[in-house]
């Protein structure tokens, strides 16, 4: 217990911008099922924390997955109270691999994992986030409510209705029935499913007249502010003020949910982004620009120039290779950028056509040339292996492309000796190669993953063929973790039941899946029939199935084209 208290005090004393209420009608414990470092760099988590504390009758405290037990129960950072003593427990869930952490946190606090096992007076337990929006079914057995879509306006409606029930002590069943009538709120207990062996839905039964489909919520960014109210040196983005510049993506890469499930692509006005920084950044001198594809923002260069002129260091997520200009890169470098991140994803023209990423080899090499002409010490490249219709030549293409980038960025780079030795920096090339994981509501949702042995072979081949290159570091990825993520991404409530056995009875996953009666290999590795009813079909992201099928067939045609 001592280590937890000391760490808690250290974290709290270092934070700036925290909002803490000692009294309120409704006390909410808001959880991020990963470390403090990761959670406090998540803009969605920080936004929900801010919005809840701005409500007059609500006080919100945070809790995280602390990795230094022993201590009893998951406790909030602000007051050190066990979360089971709060009126409402909410989780922000952006990553599928955090699902086991959610159950571990509940178990630590002696809260029954299954919603059906909790007593009438137990706190209402809810969740929202990207992962639960794309496919809520693996989490369905554990939550009373799940938010589908963007939470900002939905959260206000939900809390106002819940507060009215809380004051009158309305029975939980009636509360949940009324909450289920809110657009974007999914109450799993009113839906029953039967499944085929491949995880697809055999039959769904809807109770009490609740909607047969849950419509994902979208918000207008026109009058919305999305920024991080708290800065901390212990967050992943140390002492950074995070501000959102846009949502969704108009590019439509066929493996990516941002380009399909989160359409339409929307951007904040440049004036709004700068206004949020001016009003809320406080004494933070580092601004992180957050968005699915910030390099498509029509005012990005102007925003960066304005921030740089005011003395801010600027951080960005990955930039698209065909959107990087020399002038933008100069602003970012002058403002302190140390790593330029780009995501070619593939290494051949054939594969770029398959995934609908409208770039080419020359665009990637041009980005490397632009970076080489600056003082940036590190260039990071993201790739994916195991994509649908991938051939061996496409795996080789990743190696060949990295070698070309290495030649430009490291091998042939000549430091500017006129600036002195102190300005000469060691160049590094960081390569992140990730196994393909099918995502719901994308054209590749019907595709299976490569077998574990095949993924390991491809990753090993790339690493072996690049290890002799000076300054190149290939990040190691766990194939087993990727397969588990794929299972949580594509799974149904039976997979959730297996997860329950793994945590509640401390079984390994092989034992847990067997006890739940599911064959994970049929869900993860085998392609799904286009006619099958997928577990996430209950979610309406306002994108037609015919559109996704059309994109999948376009990918098939691109894969079959002769060079």
Mean of pLDDT over the chain: 93
Report the pLDDT value the prediction gives residue 254, as an integer from 0 to 100. Answer: 97
- Report the percent of the chain where pLDDT is more than 70: 95
Helix (H) or strand (E) holding 198: none
Residue 132 in domain: yes
Q: Which residues contact 509 (CB under 8 A, 6 or more apart)?
A: 484, 498, 502, 520
Closest-CA residue to 88 (of 210, 5, 179, 191): 179
Report the pLDDT value the prediction gives residue 66, as an integer from 0 to 100. Answer: 75
Report the pLDDT value the prediction gives residue 53, as an integer from 0 to 100. Answer: 96
Report the pLDDT value the prediction gives residue 217, as an integer from 0 to 100. Answer: 95
Report the pLDDT value the prediction gives residue 415, as an integer from 0 to 100. Answer: 63
Distance CA 159, CA 167 (A): 12
Residue 540 in domain: no
Final residue in a domain of this structure, among 422, 455, 478: 478
Helix (H) or strand (E) holding 485: helix 479-490
What angle, rounded to 10 degrees, do the helices at 326-334 and 300-309 form?
30
Report the pLDDT value the prediction gives residue 419, as an integer from 0 to 100. Answer: 47
Least confident of 139-143, 207-211, 351-355, 536-540: 207-211
163 and 309 belong to one structural domain = no
Residue 234 in domain: no
312 and 167 belong to one structural domain = no
- Residue 360 predicted with pLDDT over 70: yes
Helix (H) or strand (E) holding 91: strand 88-92
- Residue 2 binned pLDDT confidence (cut-offs 50, 70, 90): very low
- Residue 211 predicted with pLDDT over 90: yes
Contact 311, 285 (CB under 8 A): yes
Report the pLDDT value the prediction gives residue 563, as an integer from 0 to 100. Answer: 61
Range of the domain at 257: 240-478
- Residue 421 binned pLDDT confidence (cut-offs 50, 70, 90): very low
* Mean pLDDT score, 299-304: 96
CB atoms within 10 A of CB 124: 22
- Residue 313 predicted with pLDDT over 70: yes
Number of domains forming the structure of the chain: 2
Report the pLDDT value the prediction gives residue 277, as an integer from 0 to 100. Answer: 98
184 and 245 belong to one structural domain = no
Report the pLDDT value the prediction gives residue 426, as an integer from 0 to 100. Answer: 85
Distance CA 369, CA 518 (A): 50
Residue 545 in domain: no
Least confident of 19-23, 31-35, 282-286, 433-437: 19-23
Report the pLDDT value the prediction gives residue 1, as an integer from 0 to 100. Answer: 37
Distance CA 490, CA 488 (A): 6
Q: What is the pTM of this model?
A: 0.94
Report the pLDDT value the prediction gives residue 72, as an integer from 0 to 100. Answer: 58
CA atoms within 13 A on the CB side of 495: 29
132 and 261 belong to one structural domain = no
Report the pLDDT value the prediction gives residue 88, as an integer from 0 to 100. Answer: 97
Buried b (16+ CB within 10 A) or exposed e, 141-173: bbbbbbbbbbbbbbbeebbebbbebbeeeeebe
Report the pLDDT value the prediction gives residue 391, as an integer from 0 to 100. Answer: 97
Final residue in a domain of this structure, among 441, 459, 478: 478
């Amino acid at each position: 217990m001592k280590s937890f208290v000391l760490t808690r005090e250290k974290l709290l004393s270092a934070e700036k911008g925290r909002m803490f209420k000692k009294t309120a009608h409704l006390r909410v414990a808001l959880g991020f099922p990963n470390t403090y470092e990761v959670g406090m760099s998540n803009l969605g988590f920080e936004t929900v924390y801010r919005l809840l504390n701005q409500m007059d009758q609500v006080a919100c405290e945070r809790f995280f997955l602390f990795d230094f037990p022993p201590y009893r129960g998951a406790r909030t950072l602000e007051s050190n109270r066990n979360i089971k003593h709060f009126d409402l427990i909410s989780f922000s869930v952006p990553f599928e691999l955090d699902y086991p952490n959610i159950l571990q946190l509940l178990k630590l606090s002696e809260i029954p994992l299954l919603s059906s096992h909790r007593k009438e007076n137990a706190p209402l337990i809810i969740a929202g986030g990207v992962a639960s929006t794309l496919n809520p079914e693996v989490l369905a057995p554990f939550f009373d409510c799940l938010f589908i879509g963007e939470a900002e306006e939905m959260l206000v409606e939900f809390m106002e209705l819940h507060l009215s029930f809380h004051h009158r002590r309305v029975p939980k069943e009636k509360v949940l029935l009324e909450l289920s009538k809110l657009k974007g709120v999914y109450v799993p207990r009113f839906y029953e499913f039967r499944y085929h062996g491949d995880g697809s839905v055999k039959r769904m039964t809807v109770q009490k007249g609740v909607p047969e489909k849950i419509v994902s919520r979208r918000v207008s960014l026109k009058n919305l502010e999305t920024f991080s109210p708290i800065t901390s040196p212990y967050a992943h983005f140390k002492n950074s003020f995070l501000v959102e510049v846009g949502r969704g993506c108009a590019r439509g890469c066929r493996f990516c949910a941002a380009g399909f499930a989160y359409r339409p692509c929307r951007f904040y006005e440049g004036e709004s982004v700068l206004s949020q920084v001016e009003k809320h950044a406080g004494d933070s001198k580092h601004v992180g620009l957050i968005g699915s594809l910030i390099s498509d923002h029509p005012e990005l260069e102007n925003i960066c120039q304005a921030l740089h002129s005011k003395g801010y260091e600027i951080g960005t997520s990955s930039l698209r290779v065909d959107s990087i200009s020399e002038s933008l890169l100069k602003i970012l470098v002058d403002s302190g950028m140390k790593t330029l991140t780009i995501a070619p994803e593939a290494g051949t023209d054939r594969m770029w056509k398959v995934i609908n990423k409208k770039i080419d080899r020359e665009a990637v090499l041009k980005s490397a040339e632009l970076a080489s002409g600056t003082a940036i010490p590190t260039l990071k490249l993201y790739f994916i292996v195991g994509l649908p219709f991938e051939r061996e030549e496409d795996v080789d293409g990743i190696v060949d492309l990295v070698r070309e980038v290495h030649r430009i960025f490291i091998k042939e780079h000549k430091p500017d000796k006129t600036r002195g030795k102190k300005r000469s920096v060691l160049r590094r090339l960081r390569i992140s190669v990730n196994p393909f994981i099918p995502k719901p509501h994308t054209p590749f949702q019907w595709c299976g993953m490569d077998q574990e042995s095949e993924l390991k072979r491809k990753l090993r081949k790339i690493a072996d063929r690049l290890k002799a290159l000076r300054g190149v570091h290939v990040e190691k990825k766990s194939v087993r973790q990727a397969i588990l993520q794929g299972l949580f991404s594509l799974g149904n409530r039976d997979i959730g039941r297996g997860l329950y056995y793994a945590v509640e009875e401390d079984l390994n996953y092989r034992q847990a899946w067997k006890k739940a009666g599911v064959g994970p290999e049929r869900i993860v590795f085998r392609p799904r029939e286009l006619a099958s009813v997928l577990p996430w079909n209950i979610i309406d992201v306002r994108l037609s199935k015919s559109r996704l099928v059309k994109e999948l067939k376009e990918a098939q045609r691109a894969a079959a084209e002769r060079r």
